[in-house]
Amino acid sequence: MEHSSIIISHKSKKTDGTVQLTGSKSESNRALIIQALSNGAVSIQNLSNADDTVIMQRALTLAASPQPGFNTIDIGPAGTAMRFLTSYLNLVKGNFILTGTARMQQRPIGILVDALKHIGADIHYEQKVGYPPLKIEGGMFQSKPEVTIKGNISSQYISSLLLIASSLKQGLTLNIEGELTSRPYVTMTLDMLKEVGIAHTWTASAIKIETQQAKNSTLYVEPDWSAASYWFSIVALSQKSHIVLPGLKQSSLQGDSAIVDIMEHFGVVSSFKEDGLHLQKSTLHSEKELFDFKECPDLAQTVIVCAAILKKNISFTGLETLKIKETDRIAALQNEIGKFGAKLIEENGYYHLQTDNVFVPDHISIKTYEDHRMAMAFAPLALIFEQVEIEEPQVVEKSYPEFWDHLKNQGFTITA
């Protein structure tokens, strides 16, 4: 879908049916690194077809057969690929320039690079210190078995180091300094490593992984809970709704499964059955006033937009990492919800949603800021407004390529 904008509407304001979600991007990209380091022992099922995963596959294929001199690997806007490859490429016998889009070159990578250099990696900055592009000379000689990294930064830095730890000659002890942000993503990494036979110990703030080889095994990638979150919003904003999402697990590795508990407060009743997760519209809403997204920041946009149009004057914490994502997601949210009268006000780490002046225009145009989650968080508003225009709709291909087709299947009308 290469249109500069699309118009979304929904005549009946009711949704009913089954939606088969793609595999989790977060699990898929971890699985690909684990597989690449397994010497053929690990296979993968239900791999995501999202752009970020396709980019990771291409990058790993290039890295597997490097040419003489420096090999340029351009991961475009794929943040997970940037973080994971920054560690992985140090173990490959080859030399690489790791780069991405203009926005990717504004996203910090220095904390991870410092940690890798501490244990022996040969990495240099091609341009601005602390940011991509990176010049990596592979085949690293590990100089130290231990490193300390701050816990309140992107959990992808930590996962990146954990994924390569068992392939290092001295293993790795990772000391986490301060409070750990997005803990479920670190736990996901460790659980997936455990599935292929790579053990760890986690004592207090130290995670230790000895040198070891993955066993012959298959990693099954669960459907994407981040993608599921948009359907929770759709159910919440529909006049009547029953949606079934096959394959999702009640005991998921993905931190974004927290959407089940969060959206219960917005009138979405969830039940796990043999054919999948059932979502139904309810008239029950809670009076909960504070939501913490520290462990599931990718849900924030979806929930905040939904809360804004439902006129919930509530507050949020744990949004610190949103400013260094595909865009400054806080600023983007403030701009776009402001178009229908909502405000998101920051105060000492808390974000307060003010909805007293919310109104319902017939037509609203939403900028996406090159951010897939902006497009998908605002699309459900077509159940409230007569028309929602989404600019640059192709951004959804980063994580959920079938999103617009799935909306059409549930009665949404989409025109260019």
Q: What would the pLDDT profile of 220-229 be if each residue is shown by its tens digit?
A: 999 999 999 9
Predicted confidence (pLDDT) per residue in 168-201, tens digit: 999 999 999 998 888 999 999 999 999 999 999 9
Among the listed residues 182, 185, 181, the one whose alpha carbon sits nearest the alpha carbon of residue 252: 185
Residues classed as catalytic: 298
211: its two tokens: 């040198």
Does the pLDDT value for residue 3 go beyond 80? no
407: its two tokens: 């909306």
Backbone φ and ψ for 131, nearest 5 degrees, come out as: -140, 155
Whether the CB-CB separation of 201 and 175 falls below 8 Å is answered with no
By percentage, how much of the chain surpasses pLDDT 90? 91
Domain locations along the chain:
5-23+223-415, 25-220
Q: Residue range 71-86: average pLDDT?
A: 96
DSSP designation for 357? T
Does the pLDDT value for residue 235 go beyond 60? yes
Please, which pLDDT band fits residue 152 given cuts at 50, 70 and 90? Answer: confident
Please, which pLDDT band fits residue 2 given cuts at 50, 70 and 90? Answer: low
Does the pLDDT value for residue 36 go beyond 60? yes
- Tell me if domain 5-23+223-415 and domain 25-220 are identical in fold: yes
Whether the CB-CB separation of 46 and 22 falls below 8 Å is answered with no
Q: What's the order of all strands across the beta sheet hosting 363-366?
A: 363-366, 387-391, 5-10, 412-415
Does the pLDDT value for residue 153 go beyond 90? no
pLDDT at 68: 95
Residue count of the chain: 416
pLDDT at 64: 96
Pick the CATH number of 25-220 from 3.90.1150.10, 3.65.10.10, 3.40.50.720, 3.40.980.10: 3.65.10.10
Spatial distance between the Cα atoms of 405 and 416, rounded to a whole number of angstroms = 14
pLDDT at 228: 98
C-alpha angle 251-229-368 in degrees, rounded to nearest 5 = 145
Whether the CB-CB separation of 342 and 355 falls below 8 Å is answered with yes
Q: Class of 5-23+223-415 per CATH?
A: alpha beta
Whether the CB-CB separation of 217 and 42 falls below 8 Å is answered with yes
Does the pLDDT value for residue 283 go beyond 60? yes
Q: What's CA 382's distance to the chain center, in Å? A: 24
Helices (H), 37-89: 51-64, 79-88
127-133 contacts, C-beta under 8 A, 24 or more apart: 131/105, 131/106, 131/107, 132/82, 132/98, 132/99, 132/100, 132/104, 132/105, 132/107, 133/97, 133/98, 133/99, 133/100, 133/105
Predicted confidence (pLDDT) per residue in 295-334, tens digit: 899 999 999 999 999 999 999 999 988 887 778 999 999 9
Cis peptide before 132 (omega within 30 of 0): no
Angle between helices 225-237 and 300-309 (to 10 degrees): 0
Spatial distance between the Cα atoms of 35 and 48, rounded to a whole number of angstroms = 15
